[in-house]
Homo-oligomer: A and B are copies of this chain.
């Protein structure tokens, strides 16, 4: 057998530990059971590690590993052929270690979505200059091979849209809210208790994690520079069990989606709660599972579904990236030369076109619905569905204990229109005093 690929690994958290064990297990196998070596044509050997404390390395129980205190020193260590960065964080030490490796021509594998989203263009430029690989399959969708699929699987195709469920925490919360009719706050607490949500959940539930991931996929699919600031972002905290129930009744389910789509005004990148049709593949994806749908120009969509997180699943993607390096694969980090990547700019959401779900609390008095209907018509908004239910007892609204009628919810689903038109109509409707509170607005994504 030819010379092994000697690997240096920085970061021994859940994923790093899983990668170390997976590589060790393969190397400890009898040659005929070393599937990784057989698939690469050479052994892939972990030789040196770096972590916060040397005790983390000892805890692995893997003999013969060399300790290197500084990740940056490990990245340029002459004994290693490839550098794996699993420390996380968009700044140093991850960034400077990867820069050092790429500058010295060493191939890099990372699961660091924040770093790739924020500094992907600069890092890809370094990689291109030295000819080193920069692989980040594990940065998006865990074990789902979506980076490879977009980078290599459709080399001759253009895409109309790439969109998906990219954050397991949010999908878990929305799934539980729907099945148990719980509030967002209750579900979040439950998710935290079970370890599906961080103590500080903002990054996940406000959509920023999804934004970093869709920015990476947008770059791969559409040849734009990766830039999370070009992504419009809305989180899921405003979603109520009533929205989820109304969605189901109308044949939809609410998911937090990352969407990158080709429009007349450029590539629109956005993250927001979205109504997807119940019969779409994404609507079926419940719990912490991730999924991505790719709409190629010219034929029907491809959907990839799988575990988006977890040590073993993420380690699987990291090791597949190492295998590509071991085999000498030469694919550019974002598929095309960096010089070919177009600038990313934030799409003006007021020009977004699509259908909308709108939930209003209508004040119970004559002419309310006529006022609402008139302002929608003024903006050329046509309605696909209108749902208004009588509430406990009253023909239009329920009686409050003090005898007055409480506002009645009205659900509207529009045909395709513009965000601008919807916002204007709702502003007018609110100004007329015929609704209580703020309307809930959720965009509909066609499948």
Shortest CB distance A237–B (Å): 27
Residues from chain B with Cβ under 8 Å of A151 in the complex = 39
Shortest CB distance A351–B (Å): 24
A22 contacts chain B at the CB level, 8 A cutoff: yes
Per the bound structure, the CA–CA distance linking A319 and B303 in Å amounts to: 20
- Give A287's nearest chain B residue, CB to CB: B300
Contact: B304 with A336, CB < 8 Å? no
Q: How many residues of A sit at the interface, in one of the four size bands?
A: 35 or more
Stretch of A57-65, A141-149, A422-430 contacting B (4+ beta carbons < 8 Å): A141-149
Number of copies: 2
CB-CB contacts of A301-320 with B at 8 A, as 1s and 0s?
11111110010110110011
Contact: A320 with B154, CB < 8 Å? yes
Majority SS at the chain A contact face: mixed
Per the bound structure, the CA–CA distance linking A95 and B429 in Å amounts to: 71
A376 contacts chain B at the CB level, 8 A cutoff: no
Contact: B144 with A320, CB < 8 Å? no
Shortest CB distance A221–B (Å): 10
Stretch of A181-189, A248-256, A324-332, A406-414 contacting B (4+ beta carbons < 8 Å): A324-332
Residues from chain B with Cβ under 8 Å of A289 in the complex = 300
A70 contacts chain B at the CB level, 8 A cutoff: no
Shortest CB distance A431–B (Å): 44
Q: Which of B32, B305, B315 contacts A305 (CB 8 A)?
A: B305
Tell whether A310 pairs with B299 under 8 Å between CB atoms, given A152-B148, A336-B39: yes
Q: Which of B299, B323, B330, B337 contacts A155 (CB 8 A)?
A: B323
Contact: B155 with A319, CB < 8 Å? yes
A350 contacts chain B at the CB level, 8 A cutoff: no
Residues from chain B with Cβ under 8 Å of A137 in the complex = 153
A440 contacts chain B at the CB level, 8 A cutoff: no
A296 contacts chain B at the CB level, 8 A cutoff: yes
Contact: A304 with B307, CB < 8 Å? no
Per the bound structure, the CA–CA distance linking A331 and B331 in Å amounts to: 14
Contact: B312 with A307, CB < 8 Å? no
Q: Which of B36, B155, B319 contacts A320 (CB 8 A)?
A: B155
Shortest CB distance A262–B (Å): 13
Residues from chain B with Cβ under 8 Å of A323 in the complex = 152, 155-156
Tell whether A22 pairs with B156 under 8 Å between CB atoms, given A305-B281, A331-B327: yes
A373 contacts chain B at the CB level, 8 A cutoff: no
Residues from chain B with Cβ under 8 Å of A38 in the complex = 223, 335-337, 340
Q: Which of B35, B155, B156, B299 contacts A223 (CB 8 A)?
A: B35
A157 contacts chain B at the CB level, 8 A cutoff: yes
A284 contacts chain B at the CB level, 8 A cutoff: yes
Shortest CB distance A74–B (Å): 21
- Give A18's nearest chain B residue, CB to CB: B298
- Give A144's nearest chain B residue, CB to CB: B302
A-B contact pairs, 5 of them (CB 8 A): A22-B156, A35-B155, A36-B155, A156-B319, A281-B284
A residues whose Cβ falls under 8 Å from a Cβ of B? 22-23, 26, 32, 35-36, 38-41, 44, 137, 143-145, 148-149, 151-158, 223, 279, 281, 284, 289, 296, 298-307, 310, 312-313, 315-316, 319-320, 322-324, 327-332, 335-337, 340
Query: 3 shortest A-B CB distances, which residue pairs?
Result: A155-B323, A156-B319, A145-B153
